Amino acid sequence: MEIASMNNDEKPSNFFTKGLLWFKSSHEKIFAKIVGIAKQLKTIAKDDPRRVIHSLKVGLSLTLVSLFYYFQPLYNSFGVSTMWAIMTVVVVFEFSVGATLGKGLNRGMATLLAGALGVGAHYLASATGKVMEPILLGLFVFLQACALTFIRFFPQVKARYDYGMLIFILTFCLVSISGFRVDEIVDMAHKRISTILMGASVCVIVSIVVCPVWAGEDLHKLVAQNMEKLGKFLEGFGDEIFKSSEDITESKVTKTSLIEYKSVLNSKNTEDTLANFAKWEPGHGQFKYRHPWKQYLKIGGLIRQCACRIDALNAYINSEIKAPEEIREMIKETSMKMSIECGKALKELSKSMRKMNLPISADEHVTNAKNSAKKLNALLKSRINNWEEINLLQVIPLATIASILTDIVNCVEEIGQGVNELASLANFKTTKSCKEIINTNKVMVVEKIELSNNHVVITINEQNMKL
Amino acid sequence: MEIASMNNDEKPSNFFTKGLLWFKSSHEKIFAKIVGIAKQLKTIAKDDPRRVIHSLKVGLSLTLVSLFYYFQPLYNSFGVSTMWAIMTVVVVFEFSVGATLGKGLNRGMATLLAGALGVGAHYLASATGKVMEPILLGLFVFLQACALTFIRFFPQVKARYDYGMLIFILTFCLVSISGFRVDEIVDMAHKRISTILMGASVCVIVSIVVCPVWAGEDLHKLVAQNMEKLGKFLEGFGDEIFKSSEDITESKVTKTSLIEYKSVLNSKNTEDTLANFAKWEPGHGQFKYRHPWKQYLKIGGLIRQCACRIDALNAYINSEIKAPEEIREMIKETSMKMSIECGKALKELSKSMRKMNLPISADEHVTNAKNSAKKLNALLKSRINNWEEINLLQVIPLATIASILTDIVNCVEEIGQGVNELASLANFKTTKSCKEIINTNKVMVVEKIELSNNHVVITINEQNMKL
């Protein structure tokens, strides 16, 4: 009996402790989850503070547009159509100005065109009588939906007018089927188009006026940054690969900077998207309306090609090189020079691109790297007879590294050419410092100064300085 | 006088001929453009005939939904809300079942949730009196728009719930601001949700029933195809690089198959998108509901890594190799073996993946390739003393190729491991042929046959054959 009663007594307390434990553990779990999410929120905001500003901008635009509901006169004239302004803001407002403008223009143009065609189709169908009308309308809807859905598969259309196609299909269906009389439709279309225009204007204005995010600028920075990442790797690679085994433990800190280049391999999609958005953007800052955005994609492709070589090179970063000291030292010096000069060239190209200056010393670094490659070849040719007991197996990793590096030098040269093309297409500034001009021992004689098309043209005559 | 009149006579005829010529040339230009577009249409349809079917499916769904307008009883009960069914079809219908289901579920859930919250916010605000109501509503709209726009930057949310977030913001704004009485809102919400559900159901049903396009299947095929492309390159590479200069002109035909691998380098984005869509899809064909789609992304990453090495290798395909005949022959044989065995392994892996069989001979090919690599190393070690006048410079390209190939063998081994993991996760079939069973000198004794859950279970007892 006692045992039974004890058991009975224990059960509820057991239940409560279990419950408390469960509550405590789940409470802790939830707390840990919340902390995790909060940390992630912080990282996302820290990575790109413009994201926070973008969120505030969307909130602001929506609140502005929702004012239409509160101002009685506005609401009276537009009625339920005010809804379309809110829809437009929610759907059109994108992170960058280019994306917002592109979507806004697509939406506006598609609504106008499809609306007009829809009214036409509706008018045509209603003229054929009550029996034929639904059949004809159904046929119109079917045909235009099929045709435009198929056209959306065109790569050029998909890249720039996909959203417009969608809105065209939608608007055409809504207008042609609606079943209203033509004058009713015209009134409705007027209201809808006005509200859509209002919504789109609010988006575009807020997007451009409040801390604008330019897709073009992002593309420009991304390409420059990718070049810098490769440059960093190449500068660091020389030290990493030829260091003695004692230093290997120390190098973990620097290694994080050596894997940055991996993100470059998958940057194609971001670049393509940004270039498409950038084409919608008006001139801003240093970028004119028809800035050569295509050239960035070309440079981006070359950079990825170089990153691929670097990825192949990276496979050797952890392999121990056992070559004889003499060969090692010989190859080390020239390879390091090649790697570091390529790195410097890329960093220089990146820096000059960021500042939109003509790259001055990049070509010099490439030439240095090429000379090192030639030197390595010459050394290998001349010293070959001095190595009596050569172990080919031990030389192969070094030879491979040297060979891939030579390939990288060519890649960097091509990137340099790409940047130079961009510089001439986009009229990058020359930054010839005074010192350099003086060093050339020439005297600049200003011949005439004239004003044409908002530019001051200064004609200069160069003469040799008579010392 | 005569000259003048002649000139006068000529002018109109000149004008007409110019006009005719202009008309003819512009006519030809337009005609050429139309022909160009038609050709592009044909290519797009030929590349993937499912695109044509998809267009027809969209047309069909829209026509079906637009029937709501013509059936008076349906139209009478839903009124203008019928519009939402059309909007849903236009916006939700995507190329693959996964994308359609994902968008449909996102739209449905977001509308329900945001609708309920919106009614709550509206009720709360209207309880505070006429002055506070618009301020409070404005605050609600601003806060939720900011918060949700920011949450959209979370990578996990962006990948799967981006559209839902958009619809949440939209619905919350529309419902909370609308200015209707609560009972009106409930009626409106009921109509809107019903029509959205109808639209979404039509999309999902048409998408699944009429020639479904499964994103999961596409991902499966894409990964298998990418493996095959690399396999083709590696099989072709051996012949290409070691052929004598006389054959070079002939090889242009085969070279087109050698650049196919380039598309693999940029496949990450497509794979990620398809995997996200695939997660929404129910079980279909050989794929169960929780098929390990993540594993495909892992294999895809390994394939791209291998493609990167191949890109580095490709740089040597046009370089002339001048190494002495003896070395050349020695390295040629083993390198070709490595390349071809890797190619065979990849093709075998691709084939077994397509058929969802366990890869049998792929490991064998990898082992062969590894053995060749070892053989090459051993050869280099043993023969080294026989080469008296070795020219290191001439050997370097060959050594590099061999070195990169060794690296590729490792990559292929990793891909093989990835596919094996997938095979065990997804229960690929074993295809032990009868011949193999007989070869093992065992006798299979069928112990019992029973029927459970639609499967026939045959229990077999293996005994050594007494010959």
A299-342 pLDDT, tens digit per residue, is 999 999 899 888 888 877 766 666 667 777 777 788 888 888 89
pLDDT exceeding 90 applies to what percent of chain B? 33
The most confident of A129-138, A143-152, B9-18, by mean pLDDT: A143-152
Does A418 score more than 70 pLDDT? yes
Does B89 score more than 90 pLDDT? yes
**What average pLDDT does this structure show over B150-162?**
92
The most confident of A197-211, A389-403, B73-87, B324-338, by mean pLDDT: A197-211
Instruction: Please work out, in degrees rounded to the nearest 5, the angle formed at the alpha carbon of residue B87 by the alpha carbons of B83 and B91.
Output: 175
Q: In sequence order, which residues have a C-beta less than 8 Å from that of residue A354 and are 6 or more positions away?
A: A220, A221, A224
- Residue by residue, DSSP assigns B197-229 as HHHHHHHHHHHHHSS---HHHHHHHHHHHHHHH
List the single range of A105-109, A329-333, A407-411, B232-236 with lowest mean pLDDT. Answer: A329-333
The residue ranges of DSSP E strands in B189-338, in sequence order, are none
The chain A residue lying nearest B385, using CA atoms, is A389
Beta-bridge partner residues of B451: B456
Residue-wise pLDDT for B35-68, tens only, equals: 999 999 999 999 999 999 999 999 999 998 888 7
| pLDDT given for residue B442 in this prediction | 47
Q: What is the ipTM of this complex?
A: 0.81
CB B428 within 8 A of CB B405: no
| pLDDT given for residue B373 in this prediction | 85
Whether A146 and B268 lie within 8 Å, measured CB to CB: no
**What average pLDDT does this structure show over A431-445?**
46
| pLDDT given for residue A429 in this prediction | 78
3-class DSSP assignment, residue B388: coil
Does B466 score more than 70 pLDDT? no
| pLDDT given for residue B323 in this prediction | 65
| pLDDT given for residue B299 in this prediction | 94
- Look at the block and give the residue holding tokens 């026509």: B63
Q: How confident is the model at residue B182 (pLDDT cuts 50, 70, 90)?
A: low
Average pLDDT over chain B, rounded to an integer: 81
| Residue B166, both tokens | 């958009």
| pLDDT given for residue A320 in this prediction | 63
| Residue A317, both tokens | 């970063």
CA–CA distance, B367 with B348 (Å, rounded to integer): 14
Output Rg (C-alpha) for chain A, integer angstroms.
Answer: 33
The secondary structure element, H or E, covering residue A343 is helix A325-355
| pLDDT given for residue B72 in this prediction | 67
Whether B146 and A56 lie within 8 Å, measured CB to CB: yes
> Given A70, A138, A146, which is nearest B134 (Cβ)?
A70
Q: Which is more confident, A73 or B439?
A: A73
CA–CA distance, B178 with A80 (Å, rounded to integer): 9
Does A3 score more than 90 pLDDT? no
Question: Helices A82-92 and A50-70: crossing angle, nearest 10°?
Answer: 170
CA–CA distance, B305 with B303 (Å, rounded to integer): 5
Residue-wise pLDDT for A246-263, tens only, equals: 454 444 445 666 778 888
| pLDDT given for residue B381 in this prediction | 67
Beta-bridge partner residues of B450: B457
> Given B91, B173, B268, which is nearest A166 (Cβ)?
B91
Phi then psi dihedrals of residue B356, to 5 deg: 55, 40
- Look at the block and give the residue holding tokens 């000069």: A341
| pLDDT given for residue B461 in this prediction | 54
| pLDDT given for residue A443 in this prediction | 45
CB A150 within 8 A of CB B55: yes
> If you ran DSSP here, which 8-state letter would residue B96 be given?
S
List the single range of A36-40, B163-167, B417-421, B449-453 with lowest mean pLDDT. Answer: B449-453
> Given A40, A59, A90, which is nearest B154 (Cβ)?
A40
CA–CA distance, B80 with B86 (Å, rounded to integer): 11
Q: How confident is the model at residue A350 (pLDDT cuts 50, 70, 90)?
A: very high
**What average pLDDT does this structure show over B153-173?**
92
Q: Looking at the complex, report in whole angstroms how far the Cα of residue B115 sits from the nearest Cα belonging to chain A.
A: 15
Q: Which of A96, A140, A400 should we substitute to test contact with B (largest number of B Cβ atoms within 10 Å)? A: A400
Query: What predicted TM-score, i.e. pTM, was given to this entire model?
Result: 0.81
| pLDDT given for residue B372 in this prediction | 87
The secondary structure element, H or E, covering residue A451 is strand A442-452
Amino acid in the structure at residue B392: L
Nearest CA among A295, A282, A164, A107 for reference residue A212: A282
| Residue A28, both tokens | 């802790």
List the single range of A31-45, B15-29, B99-113 with lowest mean pLDDT. Answer: B15-29
pLDDT exceeding 70 applies to what percent of chain B? 79
Question: Helices A132-151 and A162-177: crossing angle, nearest 10°?
Answer: 180
Cβ–Cβ pairs < 8 A, chains A and B:
202
Q: How confident is the model at residue A222 (pLDDT cuts 50, 70, 90)?
A: very high
Provide the b/e sequence for B376-396 (b: ≥16 CB within 10 Å).
bbebbeeeeeeeeebebbebb
Whether A311 and B309 lie within 8 Å, measured CB to CB: yes
CB A275 within 8 A of CB A293: yes
* Beta-sheet pairing, A455-464 with B455-464: unpaired
Q: How confident is the model at residue A467 (pLDDT cuts 50, 70, 90)?
A: very low
Amino acid in the structure at residue B349: L
Q: In sequence order, which residues have a C-beta less than 8 Å from that of residue A23 and are 6 or more positions away?
A: none
Q: Which of B48, B51, B69 should we substitute to test contact with A (largest number of A Cβ atoms within 10 Å)? A: B69
